[in-house]
Amino acid sequence: MNAIQNDLLPEYDFDYSQARPNRFAGRASATVALRPDVLTYLEARATAKGLSLGEMVNDMFKKDIELIEAVK
């Protein structure tokens, strides 16, 4: 082992010229706990509409936001 642990071995080559930006950086996300009965209902509605659960919940929240903003 090296005398100083911060020294890198010569075979380590950190060439970042081929690096790509992080495609996940800047994405906001949240985890929400739903009651089992609510989750079951939303999953069934999403399936019936051909949407993912996330798409359906986001659409519902978007409509709620529009309603809230309309009555301000």
Q: What DSSP string describes 35-69?
A: -HHHHHHHHHHHHHHT--HHHHHHHHHHHHHHHHH
Question: Structural domain of residue 52, as residue ranges?
Answer: 33-72
pLDDT higher than threshold 90 for residue 5: no
| 53 domain residue, yes or no | yes
Q: Report d(CA 20, CA 2) in Å as an integer.
A: 32
The answer as to whether 5 is a domain residue is: no
Taking only the tens place, the pLDDT of each residue in 13-54 is 788 888 888 888 887 888 899 999 999 999 999 999 999 999
pTM of the model: 0.58
Q: List all residues 6 or more positions away from 59 whose beta carbon is below 8 Å from its beta carbon.
A: 51
Judge whether 24 lies within some domain: no
Total number of domains constituting the chain: 1
